[in-house]
Amino acid sequence: MTETAPKVGPLRGRFITFEGGEGSGKSTQIKLLAERLDAAKLQAIVTREPGGSPGAEIIRHLVLSGMGKMLGAYAETLLFAAARDDHVHTVIKPALEQGIWVLCDRFADSTRAYQGRLGNVLPGVLNAMERVTIGDLKPDLTVILDVPVEVGMQRAAARRGSNAPDRFEAEDVAFHQKLRDAYRDIAASDPQRCVVIDANADVNTVAAGVWTALRDRVLTADPAKNVKRA
């Protein structure tokens, strides 16, 4: 009897997350990276947190309206955890298993920065939430866009125009400075996964830095996903 070779499924996609304070340019840089991956014939989807799936988008509305803040840091953390659980299991993991790259605007590091560092939620609580919501899922690369607080707040104000600031944009300068410090500490604690990029530059310069980090840390480290160097 002739044996048939086992079917080989698609190679796992790559999970790239973008982090940073308000006005750091995450949405712009994710869009540019998605376009570059598409040009390199690598299928990618763009998503965000909180949100990214129908259930999580409902929770996003609650969080950004300020309801989570009124309930307290621990309740707000639970809301983020519920949103992330839905997002991971309905969008992120299925895409990765199909060989699709996932580019996500914020992920678990945001919870550690906002609710952990600034909300004083204990690390043990955050660890427990991550075990339940993301398990062993870990970004292949986390791009932290670093920008001076004053610059970021000016950008955020220009972006929203006459609209009212959301729950996080409305915080004061001291809050946002602590947030910037928190992200820098996260990057220092996990340098193999995280790269800090100076986002106080023109869009194309920042995009070049993002691509270099991706090329050097993900593409050249994984020949199966390699593309022409640019």
pLDDT tens per residue, range 88-106: 999 999 999 999 999 999 9
Task: Tell me if residue 113 falls in helix, strand or coil.
Answer: helix
Residue 229 class from Cβ within 10 Å (0-12 exposed, 13-18 middle, 19+ buried)? Answer: exposed
Exposure string of 196-218, with b = 16+ CB inside 10 Å and e = fewer, is bbebeeeeeebbebbbebbbebb
pLDDT in tens, the chain (230 residues): 455 544 445 688 999 999 999 889 999 999 999 999 999 999 999 999 999 999 999 999 888 887 777 888 899 999 999 999 999 999 999 999 999 999 999 999 999 999 999 999 999 999 999 999 999 999 999 999 999 999 988 888 888 787 877 667 777 889 899 999 999 999 999 999 999 999 999 999 999 999 999 999 998 866 555 444 44
| Cβ neighbours for 134, distance < 8 A, ≥ 6 positions apart | 84, 88, 108
pLDDT tens per residue, range 136-176: 999 999 999 999 999 988 888 888 787 877 667 777 889 89
Please tell me the distance from the alpha carbon of residue 178 to that of residue 174, in angstroms, as a whole number: 6
Give DSSP secondary structure letters for 14-82. Answer: -EEEEEESTTS-HHHHHHHHHHHHHHTT--EEEEESS-SSHHHHHHHHHHHTTHHHHH-HHHHHHHHHH
Break the chain into its structural domains and give their ranges. Answer: 15-221
Q: What is the CATH number of domain 15-221?
A: 3.40.50.300
Q: Whole-model pTM?
A: 0.87
**Pair of tokens at residue 131:** 């075990």
